[in-house]
Amino acid sequence: GKFFLYAKATHTTKARARRDGKPVDGAMRPFTALLDVGLRRTTTGAKVFASLKGAADGGLDVPHTTKRFVGFAEGALNSGVLRDHIVGAHVSNYMKVLQETDEEKYKSQ
């Protein structure tokens, strides 16, 4: 069979009004997923949390907090650091430093 994912709700009533005994918010979230990290280390800034961020931004309902995202320090999330990591600014900065300090290593990249 074929499966379709619609961008907006196709029904007029909610299928589930409560989840875990709490009311469900009005936002449409087509899937609920849990992050299984397996044997990966769950340190702040780990790549597995980048995939979590992408999944949550893509519309999956993944229960999480921002404590493990890159840029979280001293009880708050620095969204500028997170954005720089998402667009790869930290890699660009590293390549600029490498180009200035070690031309051979820069060329081998």
Residue 68 to residue 17: CA distance in whole angstroms: 30
- For 26-75, how does the pLDDT look when each residue is reduced to its tens digit (9 = 90+)? 555 566 788 888 888 888 888 888 888 888 888 788 888 888 888 888 88
Reduced to 3 states, what is the DSSP secondary structure of residue 62?
coil
Share the mean pLDDT of the chain.
Answer: 77
Q: What is the pLDDT of residue 12?
A: 45
11 band by pLDDT with thresholds 50, 70 and 90: very low
Phi-psi region of 2 (alpha: psi -120 to 50; beta: other; left: phi over 0): beta
How far, in Å, CA of 55 to CA of 94, rounded?
Answer: 27
Provide the whole-model pTM: 0.56
Q: 3-state class of 22 per DSSP? A: strand
